[in-house]
Amino acid sequence: MSIASAFVEACVEELAAPKPGNVHVHAAGHRMTVEDFIRSAEVSAPPLCRAGAPLGLRIRDSVAATRAAVGQNTNLGILLLCGPLAMAAEQGATVDAVIAASNLDDAQAVFDAIRIAQPGGLGSVDRHDVHRPATVRLHEAMAEAAQRDSVARQWTNGFADIFGAGMTSYDAARTRWADPCWASLAAYLTFLAAFPDSHVQRKHGSAVAASVQQQAGQVCGELASCADPVVMLPRLLVWDTALKAVGINPGTSADLTVATAFAWRLGLHFARDDG
């Protein structure tokens, strides 16, 4: 399987999982549809996985292709995570090595990508604001946001959450159940239960994010002890409807899930390159 095919397949699989609050084949939401995400995956895969391309350009060109195709931000977090994974797979390197080798041009391209995507709640910050020219490399810029954003945190910890709890739950579910969508659901609930979802926290505050996290922990435990996850579908869809009714979208957990499914297909594992 090519790296680009693995990326599209991971995106499509995640959409098949009935992820409460997020877009999936059972229900659209937040003014986005499954078709928006499939189209986004298809148009972003070629630039994201372009052999020999610099990291920053992979991400910027993928975001630009998505914006041109669907007219909105459907996959910025996915691309920020999957760019280093695609490059690591191509080079036979660790994600740490890929990020460590990135330069100021890569940082500027990623800043451009974030501005193109126009994610909700972007705002401005005192240091390393994407609305100003990049003055530091990506690792340092991401470190500024790592405490408040789980995607940024992966860039500082070797993707430890993805290769750790995410991959463990995903791989176990792939072994246990025939339909891989349940592996994506298992990873999604694992992330949602492990820490407050960054997107929920930005839009709705810490208390709401903590409440969703607590609910996810309960559902995650039920899924782990379930012989046939299909029986949980009605409950999952009830929770899904309730979250979407008040605009709650655990989008960061979904981004981490796609990255986990992508890394699994690429055979990547956790490894720190401390130089």
pLDDT tens digit sequence for 47-72? 999 999 999 999 999 999 999 999 99
Q: Is 274 part of any domain? A: no
- Determine contact, residues 15/34, Cβ cutoff 8 Å: yes
Residue 68, Cβ density class (10 Å: 0-12 exposed, 13-18 middle, ≥19 buried): exposed
Examine residue 273 and state whether it is found in any structural domain, yes or no.
no
Q: What pLDDT does residue 143 have? A: 94
Residue 275's pLDDT is what?
Answer: 41
pLDDT of residue 121: 47
On whether residue 24 sits in a domain, the answer given is: yes
The confidence score (pLDDT) of residue 132 equals 77
Rounded to whole angstroms, how far apart are CA atoms 51 and 269? 21
Q: What is the mean pLDDT of residues 184-212?
A: 97
Q: How many domains in the chain?
A: 1
Distance separating the N- and C-terminal Cα atoms of the chain: 31
**pLDDT computed for residue 125 by the predictor:** 47
Cα–Cα distance, 209 to 225 (Å, whole number): 25
272 in a structural domain: no
Among the ranges given (16-30, 112-126, 202-216, 240-254), the one the predictor scored with the smallest mean pLDDT: 112-126
Look up the domain containing 201 and give its range: 3-266
Is 88 buried (19+), middle (13-18) or exposed (0-12) by CB count in 10 A?
Answer: buried
Residues sharing a CB contact under 8 Å with residue 79, sequence separation 6 or more, in sequence order: 44, 48, 59, 62, 63, 66, 113
Evaluate if residue 96 carries a pLDDT over 50: yes
Give which of 61, 50, 62, 114 is closest to 87, Cα–Cα.
Answer: 50
Q: Does 247 score more than 50 pLDDT?
A: yes
pLDDT at 270: 73
pTM score, whole prediction: 0.94
Phi, psi of 223 (to 5 degrees): -65, -40
Distance CA 42, CA 256 (A): 19
Q: How confident is the model at residue 251 (pLDDT cuts 50, 70, 90)?
A: very high
pLDDT at 19: 98
275 belongs to a structural domain: no
Examine residue 271 and state whether it is found in any structural domain, yes or no: no
* pLDDT grade for 118, boundaries at 50, 70 and 90: confident
Q: Is residue 233 part of a domain?
A: yes
Find the CATH number of the domain harbouring 55: 1.10.4200.10
Q: Is residue 199 in some structural domain?
A: yes
**267 band by pLDDT with thresholds 50, 70 and 90:** very high
